[in-house]
Copies of this chain bind each other. A is one copy, B any other.
Amino acid sequence: MARYQQIIEELILTGGRHLTAEQIYLRLKESHPSLVLATVYNNLNELTRQGKIRRISLEGFPDRYDAPTRHDHLVCTVCGGLTDLPLPDLTEWIEQQTKTPIEGYDLKIHWVCPKCRAAQGTTA
């Protein structure tokens, strides 16, 4: 069962990174016309719960889904675009600072991506 779980996972891990639920739905609908958006959400929730994928929540934009490998993200404050950023793992440092065990963390770095920086130079 879980007819769609595997192809959704594969699409997220290899077919395109940082996809939204709707993008996943539209891509898979081509080859699986009976697929429905609610099924995509169901599977995304299940995969996230199992730790096979990672959900990235962004202010003002729909959630995106990513590989669960440990890495951080640059978020463009202009276009909302996401870029992977593999900074060193801060877990131990945080636990030393807080003197408390933690489950993990979510680090989003705000920048203006090169494309938007160029566009700013043009208009401003």
Contacts and interface: CB of A to CB of B under 8 A. Distances in A.
Nearest to A93: B87
Q: Chain copies in the assembly?
A: 2
A118 to B, nearest CB: 14
A115 to B, nearest CB: 14
Contacts of A112: 103
A101 interface: yes
Nearest to A87: B97
A70 interface: no
A102 B106 contact: no
Interface residues of A, number: 24
A94 B87 CA distance: 8
Interface in A44-78: 55, 57, 59, 74, 77
A100 B114 CA distance: 10
